[in-house]
Amino acid sequence: MSNDEPDDQARVLVVIVTHPRDLALAREAGWYRVPLVRVPPHFAADYLAFYQTAAFGAERWSVRYYAPVRHYTLTTRRELLPDEPQHPRANERYYRITLGPVLPLDLPLPAARLRRLVFIATTFGQLRRATDVRELFRPEEDRCPDDGLWGAGLAGRSIR
């Protein structure tokens, strides 16, 4: 592991990316969105990893990319995506997660059988060691020693 690679204990939230546009926004605009009503219990993370759905063709049903989390902001979908003012959820509140560069994992992580997921809280070490997405699910007793941060949602992060 080089000095610029994530530490094995770094918290990772695996998020679902259902449209190539959303991965492009993460790469080009540097952010990802999560509806406030869908925020998981273990939301705070040092990194996001992106689970790609069937919309990604040959890269479907896998985790191939990750990005460091820089900042959380609470906003509306309309502010995030102003070109969609008539969207049914335009006025709903979302977390805008500001990201660092989107980087490829050394080895893509496939999901041999698992096809539906929303969020997985894990560590970078587990992400690095896993051979299938199912291996990212960890029992409660195997969580980070500092689990107060996992349960606290956004501890240590700035929110506006």
Q: What are the residues whose beta carbons fall under 8 Å from the beta carbon of 92, sequence distance 6 or more? A: 35, 36, 37, 76, 77
Q: Any idea which residue has 């998020």 for tokens?
A: 15
Of 93, 87, 84, 85, nearest in space to 34 by CA = 93
pLDDT of residue 114: 63
Decide: 62 and 110 in contact? Cβ < 8 Å.
yes
Across the strands, what pairs with 95?
Answer: 34, 74
CA–CA separation, 79 and 69 (whole Å): 20
Evaluate whether the domain defined by 12-142 bears CATH number 2.30.130.30: yes
Closest-CA residue to 68 (of 30, 35, 122) = 30
Say if residue 1 is exposed, middle or buried (CB neighbours under 10 Å; 0-12, 13-18, 19+).
exposed
pLDDT tens digits, 53-108: 989 999 999 999 999 999 999 988 888 888 888 888 888 898 999 999 999 999 99
pLDDT above 80 (res 152): no
Q: What is the pTM of this model?
A: 0.81
Residues of the chain with pLDDT > 90, as a percent, come to 52
What are the φ and ψ backbone dihedral angles of 114, each rounded to 5 degrees? Answer: -75, 125
Q: What are the DSSP E strand ranges found in 36-148?
A: 47-52, 62-76, 93-99, 103-110, 119-123
